[in-house]
Every structure is written in structure tokens, then in C-alpha cells.
Amino acid sequence: MSKVSSEENIAAIYSMLARAWGRQHWWPARSRFEVIVGAYLTQNTSWRNVEIAMRNLHAARVLSVEGIRNISVGRLERLIRSSGYFRQKARKLKMFVRFLDRCYGGSLNKMFAQPTAELREQLLSLNGVGPETADSILLYAGQHPVFVVDAYTRRLSIRHGILPDNAPYEEIRSLFERSLTRVPELSAIVVSSSSAGKASHSPSRMSLAARSPLAQVFNEMHGLIVSAGKQYCLKSKAHCDQCPLGPLLRPSSG
């Protein structure tokens, strides 16, 4: 029996999880800028802590380009304190707005109209923006077709024998993008707005935003992997027998 390729394995993972759980409604946000702020704040902390900070920013009416531009660093630090590393994150948010003002006149429309590779390079040049943050901004705020690799993606890839544990970020991203691009019918799998899974969210303005079929697949795949990671593929122990992906790990006879 021929060995299943990594590309086929990734496509099967998407198909099984999408059919099991439906849409995950990532990213839960009201605006593109809220996604960007969330991508910064979620670094090295849990989403629960980020939600507290986001509520504070909403309540203070500063969750906008203009709001972050005008707020003092000290007050911004206090509002996002729950997210951890709040001093560094406050400076990073201020730096992003300065970048947006300098390069795009403060316009997210102009920024996201840039070619994906060019904008990705610009984002990566900013202090505090690594590949995961840049790709989250591109995919979830800008609807660019870029796959986001996180710790859950790495964990699942290792346990399913897709990639070794020392695979660099760009190798993982490239493999997932190729795998999810080469099977056009994948974009038709998730058609229901109903959702399940540990990481699924209620529909939001940004989760329902218009995007290309490929960007939608990348969006859903990331959310589905997070759901699998939180519910079954735990860091301490994998509960493969209960996971929808369990059959992929069981050797077939014949």
C-alpha cells in the first residue's frame, strides 16, 4: 500500500475537521484594526487575557487607528495590562500606527491593497512582528491568502508525521499552502454557518467578511487546527481515540 503524502494528509485533515465542526468564525472582531490589535496582544498570552484588554480598549473608545495614535503610552499600558508584556505591546501598537501613517497615510485600505509578499515584508520589518503575527494580520484583517502557523499547527504536524519538530516556520507555511491550494474542491466543504469545536466563535463582522475561496480555506484550517489542539491534541497528552482525526493515525490493513 502506498504511503500517503504530507500534502494528502493535510488535505484529509482539513476535510475531516471541516465536516465534523463546520465554520470556526475566525477572527472574532468588529473591525480590521481590532484584528491587528488582537494579533499583537495575543503574543505570549491566552486569548482570555486578550479579551479583557480588548474590552478595556472598547470601553475607553480607543480601539481605532485614531484612538491608538492619540492615547498616551501610559494609559494604553494600563488598558492592556491583562495581556502581559503590556509595556512592550503598547510601544509596538504605537509603532504600527506610525508605520501606517508614514507609509499609507493612516489608511488600512491602502495598506491591504499592496501585494501580499510586499506587505508581508514590510510588516516583518516592524519591531515585534514575527511571521505568525504578520500572517495573522494579512489573513484575518486583510483577507490575503496566507496560512498562519502557530504552536497547534506544529504539534499536530509532528504527531501526524507531516513534518519534523525542527521544521522552520516558512517550510510549514509553504507546505500547508501548497496542500490546501492543490485541492480546489476543499473550498466547497465548509458550507454551513453552524459551528462546533473548542476554538469556534460566534459569527462576527470580520469572520463573515468577504474573502477569496482560498483565503477562506486557510482561515478555516487554522481555526480547525486550534480547535483540535485545544480539545484533543493537548500539549501534555493526545486524545487520539476521541479526535475526528484518529482514523488518520490508525494503520490501514490490506
- Residue 4's pLDDT is what? 81
The tens digit of pLDDT for each residue in 156-196 reads 999 999 999 999 999 999 999 999 997 667 767 765 556 78
- Contact between 197 and 231 under an 8 Å Cβ cutoff? The reply is yes
Residue identified by cell 465536516 is 19
- CA–CA–CA angle 112, 113, 114 (5° rounding): 90
Among candidate residues 81, 108, 141, the one where a domain is terminated: 141
**What does the DSSP assignment read for 112-124?**
HTS-HHHHHHHHH
Query: Are residue 202 and residue 105 in the same domain, yes or no?
Result: no
- Residue 199's pLDDT is what? 79
- Whole-prediction pTM value? 0.93
- Residue 197's pLDDT is what? 83
Q: Which domain holds residue 241?
A: 6-26+149-249
- Residue 166's pLDDT is what? 94
Computed over every residue of the chain, the mean pLDDT equals 93
Q: Is 67 inside a domain boundary?
A: yes
The tens digit of pLDDT for each residue in 129-165 reads 999 999 999 999 999 999 999 999 999 999 999 999 9
Instruction: Please state, in angstroms and rounded to a whole number, the distance separating the CA atoms of residues 219 and 157.
Output: 17
Distant-in-sequence contacts of 201-204, Cβ < 8 A, 24+ apart: 201/24, 201/25, 201/26, 201/28, 202/25, 202/28, 203/23, 203/25, 204/25, 204/27, 204/28, 204/29, 204/30
The tens digit of pLDDT for each residue in 43-95 reads 999 999 999 999 999 999 999 999 999 999 999 999 999 999 999 999 999 99
Instruction: Please state, in angstroms and rounded to a whole number, the distance separating the CA atoms of residues 5 and 200.
Output: 29
Domain count, the chain: 2
Query: Are residue 156 and residue 245 in the same domain, yes or no?
Result: yes
SS3 of the chain: helix, strand, coil, percent, to 5: 60, 0, 40
Query: Are residue 159 and residue 225 in the same domain, yes or no?
Result: yes
For residue 70, the domain's CATH number is 1.10.340.30
Among candidate residues 85, 110, 141, the one where a domain is terminated: 141
Query: Are residue 118 and residue 176 in the same domain, yes or no?
Result: no
Q: Is 1 inside a domain boundary?
A: no
Query: Are residue 219 and residue 188 in the same domain, yes or no?
Result: yes
Which amino acid does the sequence have at 143?
Q
Q: Is 254 inside a domain boundary?
A: no
Distant-in-sequence contacts of 1-4, Cβ < 8 A, 24+ apart: 1/252, 1/254
- Contact between 47 and 201 under an 8 Å Cβ cutoff? The reply is no
Query: Are residue 42 and residue 129 in the same domain, yes or no?
Result: yes
